[in-house]
Amino acid sequence: MSISLEKVTKRFGVTFGVEDVTTVIPSGALTAILGPSGAGKSTLLKLIGGLVTPDEGRIFIDDDDVTDVDPRHRNIGFCFQNYAPFRHMTVAKNVAYGLKVRHRPRAEIAARVEEMLELVRLSALANRYPAQLSGGEMQRMALARALAISPRVLLLDEPFGALDAQVRAELRTWIKELHDRIHVTTVLVTHDQNEAMEVADSLIVLNEGHVEQTGTPTDLYDHPASEFVLQFLGPSTNVFGQAVRPHDLIIVTAGQGWPATVTEISTLGFEIRVAIVLENGDAAWLQQSRAEFDTHPVTIGQAIGVQRRDATVSPVGTRLDPAARSTEAVPDDRALTQRAP
Amino acid sequence: MTASVIAPVAEPVRNRETNTRRRLPLRLLAIAYVSLLIGLPVAFLFGKAFGLGVGTFWHQITEPGALDALELSAKVAAIVVPVNTVVGIGAGLLLARRRFPGKRLLDLTFDVPIAISPIIIGLSLFLAYSKIGAFGPWLFKHGFMLVFSVPGIVLATMAVSLPYVLRSIVPVLIEIGETQEQAARTLGAGMWRRLFTITLPAIRWALLYGIALTLARTLGEFGAVLIVSGNVTDKTQTLPIYIYDAWDQVPTNDAGAFSGAVLLALISITVLVVLSILRARERRLRVDIA
């Protein structure tokens, strides 16, 4: 079930609104809405869910115009940032809620609840109350509750926001696996670019209520449509006023490229960061693999040349033909460092 | 909450003992203050009423005037408590969940019965609805007599006990937020289902507390009711007014006044005990959540 938004606008005052958003969320995919806080990410999700009504524009789920449809009739699964557990009900009752509302026969509800709890691995905790669950368990309960009604789309608002780092990582992998199994069109909101890049098939980058760019994580990383996207998705540094990825800069012999001086070298395991100062006094840094660095080592104070890696990355604003891109050779070390923060 | 529950366990025992010793004078002071203000006078009242003999007490509270008053108080409570519960829930949801022009004014209006003397409410109702009042003549012409009658008493009691349900539930409604209701909505639940399966169960202890307060206030209201009831013996006497009447007679009907007062106190104390149990349960529930 695809979701499409046509010129959707919702204004709240200074922040959190969205302005003239037109986008299509592909059917069956896991799409992440990504952006800094206040960019309108949650608003966009709530617009799809019907919890917020747009000032202008139309929203379609699978060609049905749902703009004026109450959330209770949209048949969506919505997971809230705080999980919104029904605190006076057991885990099993929480999961059964949407089915009871639909007046399903008792036996069917029981079977479905069991199936859902098994899916989210909470069968052993069926009779616990939310207050007795950990954050990760509550998140999985919220997922089971949303999925029990067989929703057309699954909407997750900051699903990992309130969890500690280890649980986050586990749940991230788990959601990806879950999505691979059930294939329901899923949209999740996050402010964490690593999380979005790791988990999502496609990204919608929001900034101040506007869609900056949409596409696959690799596409956006390699061909950012704006400096904002480049800086927001992964590391960046400035060379003569132009933002570039630090691993897209290479060191060449002095006299070639832009003249620069090495000011600092930090070894972060496999990655080496070389801080440099350019001719005009601007500071920048570049990222190399250990192997790359060892082949042509430099020392602090050394005069070097710096130039763009003549590679897959296009300057900001231009996009390569995807067919052409797939035939290009990607240097081995780049493949290894491209997801480093 | 969890932290405050765990903290005393970690505290060294010696430390706790010194704390207790230091707090002892403060505790005695608090107990003495409450005893002199409420405990002793109420004890004397009970002593006086039962000092006449349990038989006399029973005779006094079962004489027709007392029974009529008790019946009227019960009737008034049976109308006022449900009505104010429904109004309180509705207004509470409105104040906690919606934004609308005049919201602050509405919020403030609900505090009026707490802030001002009940006798002012009684006088205001009298001025509005009595025969010499603003709407009185029109109402009278159409066969409604709100003052010096049971409807007047109900109206006055309703006005003074209006805020209690609302004031009990609004903080809890704000604290739990709207997301549980929104989640139920996305799962397909309509407005009434959300109210009865999500919102009311979530605020149930606060709501019961508010209802208990409303009941206590309804049974005990004197000032506002006195003005509008006209104090017609056997007809418009609630229990507090019956007590006042017995006390005010020449010669004073001591036995009637004290027995009636003890009966009213016993009812109120029962409400108080139920209330404290509810409070403890709510506190336990909140610790669970935290």
Find the residue in B nearest to A87 (Cα): B202
DSSP state of A27: T
Residue B55: band (very low, low, confident or very high) from pLDDT cuts 50, 70, 90: confident
Average pLDDT along chain B: 84
Within an 8 Å CB–CB cutoff, is residue B198 touching chain A? yes
Question: Could you read off the pLDDT of A111-121 as tens digits, one per residue?
Answer: 999 999 999 89
What pTM does this model have? 0.77
The pLDDT value recorded for residue A316 is 47
What proportions of chain B, in percent to the nearest 5, are helix, strand and coil? 80, 0, 20
> What pLDDT was estimated at residue B14?
53
What is the arithmetic mean of pLDDT over B208-224? 90
Q: Would you place residue A39 in the very low, low, confident or very high pLDDT band (cuts 50, 70, 90)?
A: confident
Domain(s) of CATH 2.40.50.140: residues in chain A = 237-337
Subunit contact A145:B183, Cβ cutoff 8 A: yes
Name the H helices within A183-253: 193-199, 217-222, 227-232
In this prediction, residue A69 has a pLDDT band, given cuts at 50, 70 and 90, of very high
pLDDT at B137 over 50: yes
CB pair distance less than 8 Å for B186 and A146: yes
B192-211 average pLDDT score = 92
Q: Is A126 on the interface with B (CB under 8 A)?
A: no
Q: Give the per-residue pLDDT at B141.
A: 75
B186–A72 C-beta distance less than 8 A? yes
Q: Do A131 and B187 touch (CB under 8 A)?
A: no
Q: What is the pLDDT of residues A238-297, one digit of tens each?
A: 887 778 888 888 888 888 888 889 999 988 888 889 999 988 888 889 888 888 888 888
Mark yes or no for CB contact B186/A85 under 8 Å.
no
- Taking contacts as CB-CB distances below 8 angstroms, the residues of chain A near B1 are none
- For residue A180, pLDDT over 90 is answered with no
Tell me, what's the pLDDT at A258?
A: 84
What local confidence, expressed as pLDDT, does residue A332 receive? 38
Q: What is the pLDDT of residue B18?
A: 60
Q: What mean pLDDT is predicted for residues B188-206?
A: 93
pLDDT at B283: 67
Please name which of B53, B45, B3 lies closest in space to residue B265, comparing C-alpha atoms.
B45
**B158 in Cβ contact with B80 (< 8 Å):** yes
Note the residue count of chain A: 341
Q: What ipTM did this prediction achieve?
A: 0.78
Q: Are the beta carbons of B193 and A101 separated by less than 8 Å?
A: yes
Contacts of A232 (CB under 8 A, 6+ apart): A34, A35, A36, A193, A205, A207, A212
The reply to whether B281 touches chain A by the CB within 8 Å rule is: no
- Answer for the pair A163, A119: CB distance below 8 angstroms, yes or no: no
pLDDT over threshold 80, residue A331: no
* Digit-coded pLDDT (tens) for B143-154: 777 777 888 899
A211 touches chain B (CB under 8 A): no
> Mind telling me how many Å the CA of B47 is from chain A's nearest CA?
45
Question: Is B182 in the A-facing interface, judged by CB distances under 8 Å?
Answer: yes
B176, B186, B198: residue with CB nearest A49: B186
By the CB < 8 Å criterion, does B27 face chain A? no
3-state secondary structure at position A107: helix
pLDDT at site A33: 94
Mean local confidence (pLDDT), A53-67? 91
Percent of chain B with pLDDT over 70: 88
Point out the residue among A72, A75, A81 whose CB comes nearest to the CB of B185.
Answer: A72
ω into B251 cis (within 30 of 0): yes
Distance from CA of B190 to the nearest CA of A (A): 7
Q: Whose CA is closest to A245, among A273, A205, A215?
A: A273
Dist. CA A34–CA A189, nearest whole Å:
6
Name the CATH topology of A3-222.
Rossmann fold (3.40.50)
C-alpha distance from A33 to closest chain B C-alpha (Å): 20
Report domain A237-337's class.
mainly beta
* CB-based contact A86 B186, cutoff 8 Å: no
Whether A80 sits inside 8 A of B182 (CB atoms) is: yes
Single-letter amino acid, residue A134: S
- Average pLDDT, stretch A54-68? 91
User: From residue B253, how far is each of B60, B62, B246, B256, B257 by CA, in Å?
Assistant: 10, 15, 5, 5, 6
Positions of CATH 3.40.50.300 in chain A? 3-222
DSSP A329: P
Q: What does the mean pLDDT of chain A come to?
A: 85
Count of helices and strands (H, E) across chain A: 11, 17
| Mean predicted confidence (pLDDT) in B104-122 | 91
Reply yes or no on whether the pLDDT at B195 is more than 90: yes
Is 80 exceeded by the pLDDT of residue B274?
A: yes
What was the pLDDT predicted at B8?
Answer: 40
Sort out which chain A residues have CB atoms less than 8 A from B187's CB and list them: 72, 97-98, 101, 145-146, 149
Q: Is the pLDDT of residue B15 over 60?
A: no
**Using the beta-carbon criterion (under 8 Å), do B184 and A74 form an inter-chain contact?**
no
Which residue from A84, A98, A149 is facing B180, i.e. has the nearest CB? A84
Residues in chain B: 290
How confident is the model over A186-232, as pLDDT tens digits?
A: 999 998 888 888 889 999 999 988 899 999 999 988 888 888 888 88
Q: What is the CATH superfamily name and number for domain B60-289?
A: MetI-like (1.10.3720.10)
pLDDT band at A76 (very low <50, low <70, confident <90, very high): very high
How does residue A312 score in pLDDT terms, banded at 50, 70 and 90? very low
* End-to-end C-alpha distance for chain A, whole angstroms: 33
Quick one: pLDDT at residue B9?
A: 42
Asked if A95 has any chain B CB less than 8 Å from its own CB, the reply is no
CA distance linking residue A199 with residue A188, whole number of Å: 10
Residues 142-181 of B with CB under 8 A from A: 176-177, 179-180
- Tens-digit pLDDT profile for residues B256-272: 888 889 999 999 889 88
Return left, alpha or beta for A64; rule: phi > 0 is left, psi -120 to 50 is alpha, else beta.
beta
- The answer, yes or no, to whether residue A103 has pLDDT greater than 90, is yes
Does residue A86 surpass a pLDDT of 90? Answer: yes
CB A197 within 8 A of CB A229: no
What is the spatial distance between Cα B122 and Cα B101, in angstroms, rounded to a whole number?
29
Q: What percent of chain B has pLDDT over 90?
A: 37
Across the interface, whether the CB atoms of B188 and A77 are under 8 A apart is answered no
Residue B165 to chain A, least CA–CA distance (Å): 21
Q: How far is A39 from chain B (nearest CA, A)?
A: 21
Containing A108, the helix (H) or strand (E) segment is: helix A106-119
Q: A74, B289: Cβ pair inside 8 Å?
A: no
